[in-house]
Amino acid sequence: MKIIRTVAELRAATEVAGRIALVPTMGNLHAGHLSLVQQARQHADCVVTSIFVNPLQFGPNEDYASYPRTFEVDCQKLEAAGCDIVFAPTVDALYPVPQQVTVNPPPIANDLCGAFRPGHFAGVLTVVLKLMNIVQPDVAVFGKKDYQQLFIIRAMVEQLNVPVQIIGAEIVRAGDALALSSRNSYLSDPERMAAVQLNRALQGVRDGLAAGRREFAALEQAAQQALAAAGWKVDYVTVREAATLAPATADTRYFVILGAAWLGRTRLIDNIEYAA
């Protein structure tokens, strides 16, 4: 497995690589990331995993500086998972000049997580488009854990005619159903025990839908109240139409229930798809 730090070296290494799959990550890799690498493996001759904590997608009061960086261990895991190239540029290598040209995301980027993280999705789309232009992959794999991100990346690729096939990978969870996340490492032991409550709250909404209930606001409020009563600060719990991320209606058949909430100083997100 090659470890590459510069755009020029990456270009040289991928010139005759055959079919290429890209897995963009911010490192601190866990089994969720590795499942993306394994899917990428099935679609390409050469799997490139990028590790880059992208300053553009963090707000001024967010965790850019403290984001966990575990490069050596990440590389060991990637090698074992069958990755061919780790692309880990420095900030200067990826942003050699101030990034004045950015991708303007669709309106949905101001909703859900975007309502609480202004500018986040512009930062995500800009780095993803840069990585796609650098690596020139045939396919790129993203996790459904970041459901809104996957949706917005699909919109960018479609509307900007980016010639990359996007694959959405299922969420990998811990034994208690907590979605794996690099930010789980911020949790104290008692917080880690409590963290599954977010998924349980979303499951409660799903159970309501499965029982035929369609008063979405009441279902959302019950979940938010359960989390608040357990000490969480809830950003949102909402029932959406999976295909559009628009609020669910009486006609919706394919739902996604999305939630984001703070446990202490850690912001966790999760979602559940449900087909009625």
| Gap between the Cα atoms of 25 and 257, Å rounded | 24
Site string for ligand AMP, 28-57 (x = CB under 6 A): ----xx-xx---------------------
Applying CB under 6 A, among 39, 126, 148, 181 the residue interacting with ligand AMP is: 181
Q: Is 51 in contact with 72 (CB distance < 8 Å)?
A: no
Is 30 a known active-site residue?
no
| Gap between the Cα atoms of 178 and 144, Å rounded | 14
Q: What residue number has its CB nearest to ligand AMP?
A: 143
| Gap between the Cα atoms of 126 and 128, Å rounded | 6
Q: State the minimum distance, in angstroms, from the CB of residue 189 to ligand AMP.
A: 20
Give the residue with the Cβ less far from ligand AMP, 199 or 252: 199
Give the residue with the Cβ less far from ligand AMP, 4 or 269: 269
Name the one range near ligand AMP by CB under 6 A: 26-34, 59-67, 90-98, 223-231: 26-34
Give the residue with the Cβ less far from ligand AMP, 219 or 242: 242
| Gap between the Cα atoms of 141 and 21, Å rounded | 7
Q: Which listed residue (30, 33, 43, 120) is catalytic?
A: 33
Residues counted in the chain:
276
| Gap between the Cα atoms of 52 and 27, Å rounded | 7
Structure tokens at 81: 């998972």
142 binds ligand AMP (CB under 6 A): yes
Give the residue with the Cβ less far from ligand AMP, 126 or 182: 182
Residue type, 153: I
Q: Is 271 in contact with 202 (CB distance < 8 Å)?
A: yes
Name the one range near ligand AMP by CB under 6 A: 110-118, 141-149, 225-233, 238-246: 141-149
Applying CB under 6 A, among 89, 114, 137, 143 the residue interacting with ligand AMP is: 143
- CA distance from start to end of the chain: 44
Q: State the minimum distance, in angstroms, from the CB of residue 215 to ligand AMP.
A: 30
Q: State the minimum distance, in angstroms, from the CB of residue 180 to ligand AMP.
A: 4
Structure tokens at 243: 């295909």
Q: State the minimum distance, in angstroms, from the CB of residue 31 to ligand AMP.
A: 7
Rounded to 10 degrees, what is the CA torsion of 242, 248, 254, 257? 60
Give the residue with the Cβ less far from ligand AMP, 49 or 238: 49
Q: Which residues are catalytic?
A: 33
Residues that bind ligand AMP (CB under 6 A): 25-26, 32-33, 35-36, 142-143, 145-146, 169, 171-172, 179-182
